[in-house]
Amino acid sequence: MRRRTFLGTFGALGVAGVAPSAPAFAQERKSGKLKIADLEFWRLEGQRETQSGRTPISSLYMKIRADSGLEGFYGPIDDEAAVVVDQRLRLVVLGKDPLAMETLWEAMYRSNRHARTGLFMMAISAVDNTLWDLKGRYFGVPVFRLLGGPTRPDIEAYASCLGYSLEPSALQKQARLVKDQGFRYQKWFFATGPEAGPEGFMKNVEVVRNLREAVGDNADIMFDASRHWDLNYAITWAKQVEKYRPRWIEEAFDPDHIDSFAQLRRATSVPVASGEHIYGRWEAHDYLRAGALNVLQTDPEWCGGITELLRICAIASAYDVTVIPHGHSLHAAIHVIASQSPVTCPLAEYLVQKMATYYYFEKYPPRLTGARFPLPDRPGFGVELDPAKVQKQTPVHWS
């Protein structure tokens, strides 16, 4: 769709009160000047059908409105990040040019001595991603086009099997089902670590054997320890399972233990992955400089948004390390992956159970065709709400 046509017809996101007004862009295009007029948060509530009946569901979305009426709309947003945006970052960006992405990122980052990590970086991510949506709508193109993509016709995903049983027969049944659905890669999550003793250790070895047996040799299997392990445990486990050729072991340790990741990588042929709790390019560079990772999994919802993830991808490519963004959410991650070389960003993470309802209120959520995401074709991230699913909408403020 041409930009002029899109901007002239861009109307409701699907719900009164959440929809952007129809802007008059002629003067804006002529002057080239935009200013951020407001930041808003909307709580959406509804009920979804489940096997046991109707279950309440809610999500938080963010809107950034320019003085012309042009808006960016993004979500779901983590509540704890939204609080920081509302109480701390709002005044930093109000009145500023929403298209000046680098300037705004730097201003947010330098606005508070604690902004380099944690909730502040999550808040910066929320603002940054919403601004990318606004910019995509302004130019009438998907975000990945602004980033230099596409680099491929679609995005392959791996199945992240959080929440499924590790009981051998149930695991093997689900693993075969995932493979039959077209996934060439699947990841499973260990429930225990050293605290479970020798019996628990052997169960964690058997999980790998059972999974390899279920999917055969022509599929990749990955594992997540959820920061439960210590170095000796991880090395011993890796030596036991190398023959099953795991694609990686993820988050074996707490993220501060960079040297443990590095030692594990040197001690085994099993690739080492981590990164969902890495904030910003500086922490990512510390891992890469230490030779700690084969796979970097920084999350654009947490690491500083699309703007920072692009910097991280550039650094990772210099170290020949793969970036596969953590799959807490999908919109930003898919667009970044679509803009990067498949050598740098080969895959997206798809949390099978979570994503079944995560975008419940959206009319056009990211949907797989087999195990691949078709490239989005709507301007920005293309978020539009489904009015049939939104029973209640409430503006939220913490200021």
CA distance 352 to 356: 7
Which amino acid appears at position 294 of this protein?
Answer: N
The more confident residue out of 16 and 46 is: 46
Any residues with CB less than 8 A from the CB of 341 and at least 6 apart, and which? 151, 317
Residue 28: pLDDT band (50, 70, 90) is low
Tell me how long the chain is.
Answer: 399
The percent of residues above 70 in pLDDT, for the chain, comes to 92
Q: Check 228, 326, 328, 335 and give the catalytic one.
A: 326
Structure confidence at residue 20 (pLDDT): 42
In tens, the pLDDT along 29-38 reads 545 689 999 9
Provide the pairing of β-strand 53-66 with 71-74: antiparallel
Could you write out the DSSP letters of every residue in 4-57?
Answer: HHHHHH---SSSTTTSPP----HHHHHH----EEEEEEEEEEEEEEETTEEEEE
pLDDT at 187 over 90: yes
Mean pLDDT score of the chain:
93
pLDDT at 85 over 50: yes
What are the start-end ranges of the H helices in 100-155?
101-109, 118-139, 143-146
Q: Is the peptide bond before 150 cis (omega within 30 degrees of 0)?
A: yes
Structure confidence at residue 3 (pLDDT): 36
pLDDT at 158 over 90: yes
pLDDT at 19 over 80: no
What would the mean pLDDT of 172-201 be, rounded to a whole number?
Answer: 97
Beta carbons within 10 angstroms of residue 168's beta carbon: 16
Is-catalytic flag, 326? Answer: yes
